Structure 1
Amino acid sequence: MKKSTYSLFIAILLAPALLFGQSKSSNDAIPSLPIPSLPLKQTTKEASAKSAEEQPSGDEDGDMIIKVNASPKKSLYKKDDKIKYSFDVKSTYKTKQEGKLSVLINTDLGDKVYEKAYNFKVGKNGSESMDISIPPQQAGFYQIKFMLNLTDYDDTVKRIFGVDPEKIKATTISKPNNFDDFWDGSKQTLSKIAPQFKVTKDIQQSTKEKDVYLIEMRSWDNALIRGWLTLPVKRPRHIPVKYRLPGYIVTMQPTMDDDEFAVFNLNVRGNGNSKDALKYHGEYNLNHIDSRDEYIYRAVYMDCVRGMDFISAYSDFFGLDMDKVAVVGGSQGACLAIVLAGLDNRVKLVTAELPLYSDLRDAIKIGPTLYPEKKSPIWMLNNYVQKNHYFTEKKLFALWDYYDPINFAPQVKCPVLLAVSLLDELCPPRCSYAMYNQLGSKKKETWVSPDLTHEVDESYYQFQYYWIKETFVLP
């Protein structure tokens, strides 16, 4: 009897929100400082995918181990390159296995571009290898399926490869004519809300090496939001800053393992210790989705700007170096980092991993073709349209064109490091590159994890560390 094994393991970075207990703090609150005026911007791990080495089938009569490797390993090609893969099988079946290996390639939008079948057989307790060469393709990202159908064994292995990703453009970029006026007006409205900063040292979480402060401030609609500032006790007179923004409904806690930066972790409304700043039911990203002006992400984007206001207001007090402020985020946090850099030129560097919502118009189409049952934030938007016929896709895009990171990207002038995972089922690599290719930055770079889903490989973080130090010219 044939057996099906689908062994692509999914690792998701979107951590559930954690219950946050109120910490014991000293009553020695640091007085609020005045907020400087903000000039308007000119409008000009390891649960990694085991797909690199498929797990054995576990059948009592025998096992199969399949390895599929791209050449080059990054699975990125130029337009005129042949796409090459090695397909290796090791069998512990006690009988010869024979049948077909079929190769099917679709675009990430679901269009078939290539199909071919090969005779394939493996001797008992044997192994077999096949080199597969595929004709060159146009710029874009593609799903390739290796479908093995043998006497007693069936399996399908999936990969994604890219061709000339730096040439990828969004199918449609629709930036509203009043986009800049809308966001300049939002910042003006925010500037009229007194931040009422409150900074309290958290004695319980502070250590001999680290000072931890609870940060509180008033933001959009006068909501009270919070975050954590962590500083090395022994630090230079001027210390660079990492401003970390949260993933989708992720609780940000103090960062205790960074000795070279002041680290400010902001919980935007509805997250972590800012959870009570937003009352909502249902999905977070559907809050006020029928209103451009009241949509949840207008307030969230302004929360991020208010966080920059805090860093600026307390730069002298804590010795924060405003010329070296790096904004860091993954998934939704990456989206927020790009948006903030487009809104606020006090951001001097961005590292963005797997940016959620980038090029939403294409992401809405790609999700159902590659991962139809992944209930990601983009799936939630798509599902809302499908279930509420009065709220059409046209209405969704009319709203999200004001919020899509791709429309903020041209205003980003600071250096950007973008990390992309090719098997990412939440943030399609095509959409990440479409946004990346719109950035106004003179210095920008990508890091690609070819065989992972919504995560990056561990070596990225070492690269990120040195990239930030090199960009900021730190010792």
Structure 2
Amino acid sequence: MIKSLRFVFLALFVALQFVAYGQPAERLIQVQVTPDHTNWLYKPGEKVKFKVAVLKCNIPQDNLEVRYEISEDMMKPHQTGKQSLKNEKLEINAGTMKKEGFLRCRAFVNYQGREYEGVATVGFDPEKLQPVTPLPADFLEFWKTTKESAEKWALEPIMTLLPEKCTDKVNVYHVSFANNDYASRMYGILCVPKAPGKYPAILKVPGAGIRAYNGEAERAGKGFIILEIGIHGIPVNLTGDVYHRLYNGALKNYHSFNMDNRDKYYYKRVYTGCVRAIDFIYTLPEFNGN
């Protein structure tokens, strides 16, 4: 359980770094940004080149203007520019970093009055990064109390089989279970191998944004229970327009809701929801404990 919890918090920390740039999953235009190192890692002083491609309905586009910003992680951009795609691609010289950290490229394309965005972030000796602020004195006690408070609510899981998503090897369910307060629930897609036996489980936490999820039936067919969760306390099998309206309406800028209050901050229920997801996995008869 301890290792699982560590993974959950690390994954959510990484997701939070990208949260400001989340977009609905279904997009007419895709802006792809990739670095010139396949492992996305660099040594201080090494120069980085980002490659940009723009796809419309998965078809590469040409002659579109791309606006880009280069920044160190979440800092203000220190380099901006505009270039046009030539021969369906664009290469951006992003410079380098002289110390460990992260360098980010954001690329934007306007099409039919709407702006589309792609993001890529590379690391410079990230394993050498050190904390820049000490933990609050009551950090561990706060989360211990928070988790214990959430666990007082019975999970009351609901599992609905999705026949149209099932395969010959895997059953696929839309699931929900209690989180940390009255009527607060987490939702996700659960894939379970059909063959009798016990299986290891994977908890898949999302990146930023508000969208539907399909689960991972193909990978589950190789012998894994896979639970893919959303974080917003809403079903994850609705139509795309619902999430688009929430993203631009009631949940716009959700990542900063109550940021000045640790007990009301939006991500508090997200973290507890991930812990409850682990608890839910442990209730599955097909789970082997790994």
TM-score normalised to the size of structure 1? 0.36
- AA of the residue aligned to 1:186: T
Aligned residue for 1:203, secondary structure, equals coil
Q: Quick one: structure 1 residues 203 and 110, their matched pair in 2 at CA, closer, same or farther if it must change by over 3 Å?
A: closer
**Structure 2: which 5+ runs fail to align?**
1-19, 50-69, 79-94, 106-119
Cα distance in 2, alignment partners of residues 255 and 205 from structure 1: 10
Aligned residue for 1:253, secondary structure, equals coil
**Superposition CA RMSD, Å:** 4.4
Deviation at 1:168, TM superposition (A): 2.8
Q: Give the percent of matched residue pairs that are identical in Structure 1 and Structure 2.
A: 23
Q: Aligned residue for 1:269?
A: 232
Report how many residues are paired.
206
2:146 maps to which of 186, 189, 192 = 186
CA contact (8 A) 1:269 1:303 kept: no
2:170 maps to which of 196, 204, 210 = 210
Deviation at 1:180, TM superposition (A): 0.9
Q: Quick one: structure 1 residues 298 and 234, their matched pair in 2 at CA, closer, same or farther if it must change by over 3 Å?
A: same
1:77 and 2:43 matched: yes
Deviation at 1:216, TM superposition (A): 2.1
Aligned residue for 1:229, secondary structure, equals strand
Aligned residue for 2:217, secondary structure, equals coil
1:233 maps to which of 194, 206, 231 = 194
Cα distance in 2, alignment partners of residues 85 and 216 from structure 1: 43
Q: Aligned residue for 2:287?
A: 320
Cα deviation code 1:381-419 (max 9, x no counterpart): xxxxxxxxxxxxxxxxxxxxxxxxxxxxxxxxxxxxxxx
1:297 maps to which of 257, 263, 267 = 267
CA contact (8 A) 1:75 1:160 kept: no
Q: Which has the higher contact order (CA 8 A, sep 6+)?
A: 2
Aligned residue for 2:202, secondary structure, equals strand
Cα distance in 2, alignment partners of residues 311 and 135 from structure 1: 43
CA contact (8 A) 1:240 1:320 kept: yes
Q: Aligned residue for 2:277?
A: 307
**Structure 1: which 5+ runs fail to align?**
1-11, 19-45, 53-69, 87-104, 113-133, 145-158, 324-475
- AA of the residue aligned to 1:268: I
Is the radius of gyration larger for structure 1 or structure 2?
1
Q: Aligned residue for 1:425?
A: none
Cα distance in 2, alignment partners of residues 285 and 308 from structure 1: 23
Cα distance in 1, alignment partners of residues 25 and 71 from structure 2: 36
Deviation at 1:280, TM superposition (A): 4.3
Cα distance in 2, alignment partners of residues 264 and 211 from structure 1: 12
Pairing of 1:20-419 with structure 2 (within 5 A): 47-49=31-33, 76-77=42-43, 83=46, 137-140=98-101, 164-170=125-131, 172-222=132-182, 223-234=184-195, 237-248=197-208, 249-258=210-219, 259-260=221-222, 261-270=224-233, 272-273=235-236, 280-314=250-284, 317=285, 319-323=286-290
Cα distance in 1, alignment partners of residues 23 and 77 from structure 2: 33
CA contact (8 A) 2:212 2:236 kept: yes
